[in-house]
Structure 1
Amino acid sequence: MITALDHVAVAVRGFEAAVDGYRRLLGREPELDPRDGAARAWFHLSNMALEVIAPSGEGPAGERVRARLEAAGEGVWICAFQVADLEAASRLLARRGLETEPVAAVTRIRAAGLDFVLTPGRIGAQPSPAIGAEAAAIPALDHVVVGTRNPERALAIYGAKFGLDLRLDRANPQWGARQLFFRLGDAVFEVGASLKAPVSDAPDRFSGLAWRAADPEALHARLAAAGFDLSQVRAGRKPGTKVFTVRDAPAGVPTIVLSAEPAPEPA
């Protein structure tokens, strides 16, 4: 039913500064799309798109962004899922007990305190042009992270109701966390819960974005030259991978960059 991650929307107050920040971070030129009282910039990547959105006038979209900013401030706002049949998928999720609302050509869903969208998808979309060499641009999103105080509720909502493909349910006392990994096309929807915090009915929250890099050291050098505050490149949790943190990502979104898993050795 849900086939892929379509896009992630980041709500911001300062549109130009946020767009410039993501332009430098991703190394790509955005597509500007002002309408319905909101300013939008789209950064298309190989496996999803990032939408930067801010209120800019009168209109339903502008009103929704203003309400979001007043309630929760800047940050990741919406996670949009691709579906092949919007009407059928919306009807099924409503029957499963999710709160659905048709809006224009999409269906909005509120679940576990978060905002989601079902959409037919960015059919035919190509990656946004790289500012310089394509090898120096970020090619894709690796995963979007959600924090929860109730992992069993997360399994029920994201697994049973949304029908996302659960690939791994892992508890690691050394890290003090339980992690649920759902596959979304060529991206991952990761849900994390602290093993030290009590289970509660508190709403879930979007906890950050993890971008892929073909060459983490080269990308680290480019971002440092562009003025970003970065951690050192370090070994990732998966053997053979490398990762670094972007401490001052636009809109305060917690952000890491990591290399893809190494290819297996040939037999």
Structure 2
Amino acid sequence: MITALDHIALAVRDFEAAVDSYRRLFGREPDLEPGDGANRAWFQFPNMALEIIAPSGEGPAGDHVRARLDAAGAGQWIVAFQVSDLDAAAQLFSRRGLDVARAGPLARVRAAGLDFVLTSGRIGAQRSPPTTTEAAAVEALDHVVVMTPNCDRALGLYGAKFGLDLRLDRANEQWGARQLFFRCGATVFEVGASLKAPVTEEPDRFGGLAWRVTDPDAAQARIAAAGFDVSEVRTGRKPGTRVFTVRDAPGGVPTLMLMPSPELERA
């Protein structure tokens, strides 16, 4: 039923500052979309989009964002999934016991303490143009991370109820972590859990974003020159990958930049 990751939404209070920060981080120029009481900026990539949204006045969207900010503060808010048939997907999710509410051209889903959206997608959206060379700009999203205190619940929710395609279930005692990797279109939905913490029914939480770059050295130099605190480029945990961390990414979102392994890309 879910065909792809459509977009990720970040709720912010200072719209102009957040947009400027992500423009410098990505090396791309967004589309601006005000309306319905909210300001939106869309950074469009080949496999998804990042939406930055802030209240700007009266209107349903502005009220919704304002309520989110008052309840939980700024930061990563929504993961939106693309579906082929919105009505059928909303009905199926409801029949599977999920909390689903229709809201115009989308359906909101509340699960494990997180907010999700089902949507028909941003069909025909063009990739945001670079403000730098393509080699130094962020290319696409590699994966989104969710942290859970309960892997069995996560398998039942994201696998059985959401219907995401589980490709790997890996426990690593050395890292003290268990990781579930679900394929979602051209991205990965990763769920992580600590092997050292007790299993609980506490809510899940968003754990960060990993972005793809084609030239990590060029991207790291550009992002550092833009004023961000970045690590050195290093060998990633997955064979053939090279990565670096943005320590002060906008909105406090844990952010990793990586060059995927060509072999893994073909898998």
Shorter-chain TM-score tier: over 0.9
After TM superposition, give the deviation of residue 135 of structure 1 in Å. 2.1
Q: Distance in 2 between matches of 1:223 and 1:132?
A: 11
Correspondence for 1:46: 46
Q: Distance in 1 between matches of 2:192 and 2:86?
A: 29
Q: Distance in 2 between matches of 1:3 and 1:262?
A: 24
Aligned partner of residue 160 in structure 1, secondary structure: helix
Correspondence for 2:164: 164
Instruction: Show CA shifts across 1:82-111 (max 9, x none).
Output: 001000111111000001101010000000
Q: Distance in 2 between matches of 1:261 and 1:71?
A: 40
Q: Distance in 2 between matches of 1:94 and 1:3?
A: 18
Q: Distance in 2 between matches of 1:54 and 1:201?
A: 31
Pairing 1:112–2:112 present? yes
Correspondence for 2:130: 130
Q: Is the 8 A contact 2:135 2:218 kept in 1?
A: no
Q: Distance in 1 between matches of 2:108 and 2:173?
A: 36
The amino acid that maps onto 1:145 is V
Instruction: Show CA shifts across 1:155-189 (max 9, x none).
Output: 11100000000000111110000000000111000
Aligned partner of residue 28 in structure 1, secondary structure: coil
TM-score, scaled relative to structure 1: 0.97
Q: Is the 8 A contact 2:99 2:109 kept in 1?
A: yes
Correspondence for 1:14: 14
After TM superposition, give the deviation of residue 74 of structure 1 in Å. 1.2
Correspondence for 1:4: 4
Aligned partner of residue 115 in structure 1, secondary structure: strand
Q: Distance in 2 between matches of 1:254 and 1:64?
A: 24
Q: Distance in 2 between matches of 1:249 and 1:262?
A: 27
Aligned partner of residue 219 in structure 1, secondary structure: helix
The amino acid that maps onto 2:212 is R
Aligned partner of residue 138 in structure 2, secondary structure: coil
Report the RMSD for the aligned CA atoms in angstroms.
Answer: 0.9
After TM superposition, give the deviation of residue 261 of structure 1 in Å. 1.3
Q: Distance in 2 between matches of 1:102 and 1:54?
A: 22
Correspondence for 2:251: 251
Q: Distance in 2 between matches of 1:223 and 1:20?
A: 13
Aligned partner of residue 262 in structure 2, secondary structure: coil
After TM superposition, give the deviation of residue 236 of structure 1 in Å. 0.2
Q: Distance in 2 between matches of 1:28 and 1:104?
A: 30
After TM superposition, give the deviation of residue 64 of structure 1 in Å. 1.2
After TM superposition, give the deviation of residue 132 of structure 1 in Å. 2.2
Q: Which structure 2 residue ranges, 5 or more long, are not aligned? A: none
Aligned partner of residue 9 in structure 1, secondary structure: strand
After TM superposition, give the deviation of residue 228 of structure 1 in Å. 0.6
Correspondence for 1:263: 263
Instruction: Show CA shifts across 1:59-94 (max 9, x none).
Output: 111111111111211111000000010001111110
Correspondence for 2:76: 76
Q: What is the count of residue pairs matched by the alignment? A: 264
The amino acid that maps onto 1:88 is A
Q: Is the 8 A contact 2:171 2:177 kept in 1?
A: yes
What is the percentage of aligned positions where both structures have the same residue?
72
Q: Distance in 2 between matches of 1:232 and 1:73?
A: 30
Correspondence for 1:183: 183
The amino acid that maps onto 1:64 is H
The amino acid that maps onto 1:223 is I
After TM superposition, give the deviation of residue 36 of structure 1 in Å. 1.2
The amino acid that maps onto 1:120 is S
Correspondence for 2:199: 199
Correspondence for 1:145: 145
TM-score, scaled relative to structure 2: 0.97
Q: Is the 8 A contact 2:10 2:77 kept in 1?
A: yes
Q: Which structure 1 residue ranges, 5 or more long, are not aligned? A: none
After TM superposition, give the deviation of residue 146 of structure 1 in Å. 0.3
Q: Distance in 2 between matches of 1:229 and 1:12?
A: 21
Aligned partner of residue 81 in structure 2, secondary structure: strand
The amino acid that maps onto 1:208 is G
